[in-house]
Amino acid sequence: MKNFKYKFIITLIISIFLSGCMQKEPQIPQAVSFTVISPMVKLSDAGFLRVYKNSVHLQIYSSGVSVLEIVVKDRICMNNACKDELAFNKDFFTKEHYRGFFDEILRKKPIYNGKNLVKTECGFEQNLRNLSYKVCGKELFFKDKNDIKIILKDID
């Protein structure tokens, strides 16, 4: 009986340890066409977007080679160089905006708590003082006064 308890405890500990490494929610990557014009990066290519409960992963390829990887979680990492969200926003958008701003865009959710949100037949639009943001079906378009542009289209 003592041997059984010992094996049970060891098996339980190993199971808990291994389950911590497992992906909690398997995601099917969404193929996307991604265009961005920003002081940090200018590119237009195809890749994959993976949306998880607590993070967003965007990987863009050119000729089969990964040229851009953005991971939005508690910080924003671009090609493994991580920054605080507000610092990233300042560099990427030339304005800090707020925490969660880029995450909301990649998830195609309203920004600025839905301020000036107008529902459309296929999604919504937000025209704020310094930016225009539209989500229509599988397409997203963001442009601000500094000519920062993000265009994201799902590819079927």
DSSP 103: H
pLDDT tens digit string along 6-49? Answer: 666 666 566 666 555 555 555 679 999 999 999 999 999 999 99
What whole-number distance in Å separates Cα of residue 52 and Cα of residue 64? Answer: 24
Q: Look up residue 63 and give its two tokens.
A: 């000729």
What's the confidence (pLDDT) of residue 137? 94
Please tell me the pTM assigned to this model: 0.81
Which helix (H) or strand (E) segment holds residue 35: the answer is strand 30-37
Distances (CA, A) of 83 to 57, 86, 147: 15, 8, 23
- A 10 A CB-CB count for 125 gives 16
**What letters, b where the CB count within 10 A reaches 16 and e where it falls short, cover 27-54?**
eeebebbbebebeeeeeeeebbbebeee
Closest of 81, 41, 33 to residue 58, by C-alpha: 33
Residues 38-71 have pLDDT tens digits of: 999 999 999 999 999 999 999 999 888 999 999 9
In Å, how far from its chain's centre is CA 106? 5
